[in-house]
Every structure is written in structure tokens, then in C-alpha cells.
Amino acid sequence: MDNKAIRIVIATKNEGKIKEILEIIKLKNISFSTFKEFGNWPEVKETGSTFKENSILKAKAISGFSKLPALADDSGLEVDALGGAPGVKSARYAGDNCSTPDNNIKLLNELRNIPVSDRSAQFRCVAAYFDLEGTLLVTEGVCRGHIALEPKGEGGFGYDPLFVPDGYNVTIAQLPPKEKNRISHRGKAFGAMKSKLEKLFSEE
């Protein structure tokens, strides 16, 4: 890689995700742009049936819109007792215009008769990079754990206050950001993406 800076757009308006991605992927000569630098930022419909399909769809759409390389992810919670739900519908589990508390309340209601021993679950994240040359990179990360009986913690976002990672007795929302990024699904997916981007740009 030469000294020319490479600009990549993060393909999300979720500021929690943006913050984590910026903390995880720190590479020399790479700068990141966000939706705040663009007008008419498009709402990309998540029409895929898998996290991988949605993440690629978002990366390609925002790369086309911005005329820059784009980095996207699709992620969510998969609860074993619910057959993998909410899955790709994690962000809209309680309905299209629902809030995070709405989703958390619905999840707790769905599990109200399920004991903690049977509340195993995992967070899954698929990250995708796409550029104008047609280069596509995809990585995935999974974090296993279980769903708590009630929300705890002020950190993180989404289902974090309900998710206790394996080996811990606190929720992800109670962990320091550095520790969360070390063990989380997004930390693993974007940690692997960081390595792929280093390799890609070192070859240029």
C-alpha cells in the first residue's frame, strides 16, 4: 500500500454500529466516512433471507450511491428455543416501526415460560466490503450465550442488555467496550475483515 489514503463508507445509520466498527478497524491509510457526510442517504431494504445476503446487498447499494468502497454488516440474535428467531428480523422483531425496548419486551414475552437453562442463543454478524472494482470480501462472527430474565446494563445497544455471553455472569451491555469488541460477534466479524482489508490494500 502506498501513502494514498483509502476512504471507505460505513453503510449504516446505526451509530452504535458505527462506533464499534471504528473502534475495531483501525488501519493506517484508511479513513472512514459515514451517512452524516452525505445528503439523500438511501434506505436500503433488507430483502435477503440471510445475514450474508443482506450485508452484501447493503454494501453494494451504498458503494453505488457514494461511488466509494463500502463496508456493511447485517447481524442479529438467534435464540435456540425460538427456532433461530428473531434472526434476520432482529431489528424489526416487534414490527416495522418498533423500538429497541419493544423488541426486548417481545423477546422476554416469548421466553417467559422458558427456564434460563434452555435460553441458549447466539449473536451472529456478517460483514461485507464492496468496491467499485467489484471486489467483495465477506467475514462472519458468532458469540454464544443465553438470554437473561431481565435487562441489565447501560452499554451497547439492541439486545445487548439481555444477552449473557458464555463464560460471563453479566450481560454484554455491562462489559467495557474494549472487552465487548474482543468477544462479540461484530468484534469477530470485523476483526477478520480488518485482516482481509490489510491484505487487499497491501497487494495494491
Residue ranges of the domains in the chain?
Answer: 6-202
Contacts for 191 with CB less than 8 Å, ≥ 6 apart: 24, 141
Pick the CATH number of 6-202 from 3.90.950.10, 1.20.120.450, 1.10.1380.10, 3.30.43.10: 3.90.950.10
Worst-scoring range by mean pLDDT, 75-79, 100-104, 153-157? 153-157
Question: Of the residues 2, 73, 74, 131, which is catalytic?
Answer: 74
Contact 41, 33 (CB under 8 A): no
State yes or no: is 131 an active-site residue. no
Q: Does the pLDDT of residue 204 top 90, yes or no?
A: no
Question: CA of 201: how far to CAs of 7, 139, 152, in Å?
Answer: 12, 17, 41
140-167 residue pLDDT tens: 999 999 999 999 999 888 999 999 999 9
